[in-house]
Structure 1
Amino acid sequence: MKKVLITNNLKVFEENKEKMDIIYSKDYTYLDVLIITRNKIHEGYRLLTHPLSGSVKPNETPFKSVIMTKKKNELHIKSLEIIEESIQTAEKFIKGKKIPLWTEKILEDFKLIDYCLIKSAIESMDQFF
């Protein structure tokens, strides 16, 4: 099963660039990652990780990573439902309160949180796939 990682986290990109296909840009916002994920679902990809994993709210962290796979050239309805709900949730949080101008130290902490979440997911997947 071929995995695709969508991320705006350089730490996640650097760690995984040799392991799977990656769609990465440091300029992507949290919401950009979710929208790109939705677009890939429309191309026949399905979610392997939940777009709102972890306990950090979309208006608290700028970093997000999502893993997908392409099964067939058909729309996976459950993935589409999850990503659409995730986009609505993220928009609600971001609209209510923008991401603060965090210090570099705090941004590094948020990168590490996202990295640890996706690393754990990858390790779990590797056991089953």
Structure 2
Amino acid sequence: MPLHAQYGVVTSPIALEQGANYLARIGQNDPEELGRALDRIEQLFMVESAGGDYEPVVIVLHGPEVAVFQRQNYHQFKHIVDRAARLSAFNVVDIRVCETRLDVLGGAVDALVPFIGTVPYGPAEIERLTGAGYLHF
């Protein structure tokens, strides 16, 4: 069953499809929206689906929320970064940030926290993953 989401965060209970790949969409480019998405992902994949065989949910960030994962901003966004790090360690999320946006923010790839991956251009990565059959979460 396909997921239906408003602003990229699932708002009603769903059943996860075994073997499906999921792409979380962060539509408002807001750190708190990212935090809510991580909360929902944690609920679904670490509580409701414990023991299931799932690929990590991919999150591609390409707006100002990229700054959340710059080391210099850790103390400001500690609650989000720590949750993302934990979910990444459990292979529940795969967070990728846009190198183009990072450059606009004046940051370098090596200034990101270590568990974050990068892509050259976020919107193109979202399009690629959608074309590859990822379900929007």
TM-score over 0.5 (shorter chain) = no
TM-score, normalised by the number of residues in structure 2? 0.30
TM-score, normalised by the number of residues in structure 1? 0.31
Structure with the higher helix share, 1 or 2: 1
